[in-house]
Amino acid sequence: MKQVDAIILSCFGYELTSSEKKFFKNINPFGFVLFKRNFKNKEQIKQLIQNLKDATLNSDLLIFIDQEGGRVQRLDNHEFTKFPTQMIFGNMYKKDKKMALELAYKSAFLMGEQLKEICIDVNFSPVCDLFFDNANNVIGDRSFGSDPELVLNLSNSFCKALKDSGIIPVPKHFPGHGRSKFDTHLRSSIIKESYNDLKKTDLVPFKILDKSMMVMLAHIKYPLIDSKVATYSNEIIRNILRKKFKFKGLVISDDISMKAIKEDLQTKVTNCYEGGCDIVTYCKGDLNEMRLIYPCVQVLRNKEMNFFYNEKKKIIPKRKNNNKFLSDLIEYKLISNAPKS
């Protein structure tokens, strides 16, 4: 298999510029992540995805997106279902566990089907962080709830559904973002709980990692564990995640454009790799910055690459009664209507 650069990139707009095409032709990134700035309609984004594959000369190029439901949905016009926030299923779970798990599965499965239709491969979802009343709202209703077992069970249902639809899920944000007092897109944040405290709470939902191919880390510092942010931390990645959780999949950084980490971009890339990240994520789509950081980009190691692609072969889309799933979600007022072409 051809060597793959250990980075996920992004592009700036609805279509590739000639400069982007020229740059992408000479690199082989692990994938590209798409945002609202890249989406106008279904046909346009399918063409953009094809153009990315053509530009990189890689028909197997992975395409990523954040399509969680609720306020984080990059594909948000009438052609796509407006899926509910994760918290809706958590509230339902408190009243009827079986129903909540079934409906969470149906919602995630239909979401995955819609992503697969436009040739997206990976969803940065579900959010496995716990909800805390006194925390910043950056997680908030994106979480399934405050009970660790509830979040674990619903996350498991969500991941299974995405896989059954043919989409690779990426649980996030290890080892837990829910307690953060600040939005890490905007500034640094510290969580002061010990590993033993987190093990009983925030880390419980990440038990699903024994079935996962990827996990995304938080740009948060946990000073009772390590002086470095999780994305740079050997203790968190190599000791807790790899040894204690026995995670064999790919460890992915959160976006290095975020202001929670303050170094220059090249140093950020280097620090992520040195800390134990397999893949660095860059989401800003600035071509000059991509040119700047690319000399620091490493090649994905064969062991991790082979594990991922072997696991990827096992994801075979299953056929379900999509109309029944839609009608059930409408009946329970989780969605208002089916998407229109």
Residues recognised as catalytic: 185, 254
The CA-based dihedral angle spanning residues 65, 69, 71, 75, taken in that order and rounded to the nearest 10 degrees:
50
What is the helix (H) or strand (E) element at residue 252, kind and residue range?
A: strand 250-255
Q: Distance between CA atoms of 9 and 284, rounded to whole angstroms?
A: 8
Tokens of 221: 């510092």
> Per-residue DSSP letters for 127-186?
B-PPP-TTS-TTTGGGSS-S-HHHHHHHHHHHHHHHHHHT-EE--EEET--TT-SS-TTT
**Residue 171, preceding bond cis, omega within 30 degrees?**
no
Neighbours of 211 (CB within 10 A): 14
The DSSP symbol for 229 reads B
